[in-house]
Amino acid sequence: MTLADFRQLFHGPLMGNCGYDQFSAETAIAEGHADLIAFGRPFISNPDLVERFAMDATLNPPADMKDWYSPSGSLGYTDFPSLHD
């Protein structure tokens, strides 16, 4: 089932997530399939994701999932370069 299918059934605020990039998120909103798109994984490796989207900048590679919620501390969470590094 897609967001477009859900939109046919539900007319309140609808949020999509999982697997979107900037283009597909903007398209889903423009076509009325969603009111907003949440970004989880891209935000982990790009804490400046909004600025990167605004500047059409390249994204950092995804964080290694083995480090998520692990005893490795900040590894994979706060060690990604920002646009201004």
Q: Output the pLDDT for position 35.
A: 97
Produce one character per residue of 25-50: b if its CB has 16 or more CB atoms within 10 Å, e if not.
Answer: beebbeeebbeebebeebebbbebbe
Same-domain status, 46 and 77: yes
Same-domain status, 26 and 14: yes
Q: Tell me the three state secondary structure of residue 26.
A: helix
Q: Number of structural domains, the chain?
A: 2
Instruction: Read off the pLDDT of residues 31-85 as tens digits, 9 standing for 90 and up.
Output: 999 999 999 889 888 989 999 999 999 999 887 777 777 676 666 667 778 888 7
pTM for the predicted model, two decimal places: 0.80
Same-domain status, 46 and 28: no
* Cβ atoms 3, 16 nearer than 8 A: yes
Q: Output the pLDDT for position 20.
A: 94
Q: Output the pLDDT for position 7.
A: 94
Q: Tell me the three state secondary structure of residue 16.
A: strand
Q: Which domain does 22 fall in, by range?
A: 1-38
Give the Cα-Cα-Cα angle 52, 56, 58 (nearest 5 degrees).
65
Same-domain status, 12 and 33: yes
Instruction: Read off the pLDDT of residues 11-35 as tens digits, 9 standing for 90 and up.
Output: 999 999 999 999 999 999 999 999 9
